[in-house]
Copies of this chain bind each other. A is one copy, B any other.
Amino acid sequence: MSAWYSSNKRAMKTKDSLANLNTESAKQTLTVNTIRALGIDAIERAQSGHPGIVLGAAVIGHTIFHRFLKFNPVNPSWPDRDRFVLSAGHGSMLLYALLHLTGYDVSLDDLKAFRQFGSKTPGHPEYGLTPGVETTTGPLGQGFANAVGMAIAERYLGALFNAPGFPLVDHRTYVLAGDGDIMEGVCYEAAALAGHLGLGKLTVVYDANDVTIEGALSISSSTDVAGMFRALGWSVCHADGLDSASLINALNEATAQTERPTLVIAKTRIGFGSPSKEGKASSHGSPLGAEEAIKTKAALGYPSEGAFFVPETIKAQALLFKERGEKLERDWQDLFDRYQQAFPKKAGLFKELVEGRLPEDALKNIPTFYPEAGRLSTREASGRVLNALAKHLPTLIGGAADLAPSSMTYMEGMGDFQKENPSGRNIRFGVREHAMGGILNGLALHGGIFPFGGTFLVFSDYMRPAVRLAALMRLSVIYPFSHDSFHVGEDGPTHQPIEHIASLRLIPGLRVIRPADANETARAWSWALRHREGPVALILSRQKLPILKETLKDPQEGLERGGYALLDSEDDAPRIILVATGSEVHLAMLAHLALKEEGVASRVVSMPCLELFLAQPKDYQENVLPSTIKKRIVIEAGVTSGWPKVATDEGVCLTLDRFGVSGNAADIAKSFGFSLERVLQEARRLLNQTSR
Contacts and interface: CB of A to CB of B under 8 A. Distances in A.
Interface of A: 46, 48-49, 89, 115-119, 122-124, 126, 136-140, 179-181, 183-189, 192-193, 195-196, 212-214, 219-228, 230-233, 281, 285, 400, 402-406, 416, 418, 428-432, 434-435, 458-459, 461-462, 464-465, 468-469, 471-472, 489-495, 498-499, 502-503, 506-509, 639-642, 644-645, 648-649, 657-659, 661-664, 667-668, 671, 692
Given A124-B491, A214-B402, A223-B231, A431 B192 contact: no
A659 to B, nearest CB: 5
A199 to B, nearest CB: 12
A184 B432 contact: yes
Nearest to A179: B431
A51 B475 CA distance: 40
A522 B662 CA distance: 39
A658 B534 CA distance: 13
A186 B431 CA distance: 11
A235 B281 CA distance: 31
A126 B490 CA distance: 13
A117 B223 contact: no
B506 A641 contact: yes
Given A185-B432, A507-B499, A213 B402 contact: yes
Given A179-B431, A223-B233, A506-B641, 13 more contacts: A48-B491, A124-B494, A180-B402, A184-B189, A185-B188, A185-B432, A192-B223, A224-B231, A468-B499, A503-B503, A503-B506, A508-B639, A692-B692
A121 to B, nearest CB: 8
A214 B400 contact: yes
A213 B406 contact: yes
Contact of A430 (B183, B648, B662): B183
Nearest to A646: B644
A591 B658 CA distance: 37
A644 B644 CA distance: 7
A220 B116 contact: no
A492 B185 contact: no
A195 B223 contact: yes
Contact of A639 (B429, B506, B648): B506
A33 B9 CA distance: 67
A136 B494 contact: yes
A621 to B, nearest CB: 15
B232 A228 contact: yes
A110 to B, nearest CB: 13
Given A139-B459, A640-B642, A89 B494 contact: yes
Contact of A428 (B214, B495, B641): B214
A418 to B, nearest CB: 7
A46 B492 CA distance: 13
A594 B179 CA distance: 50
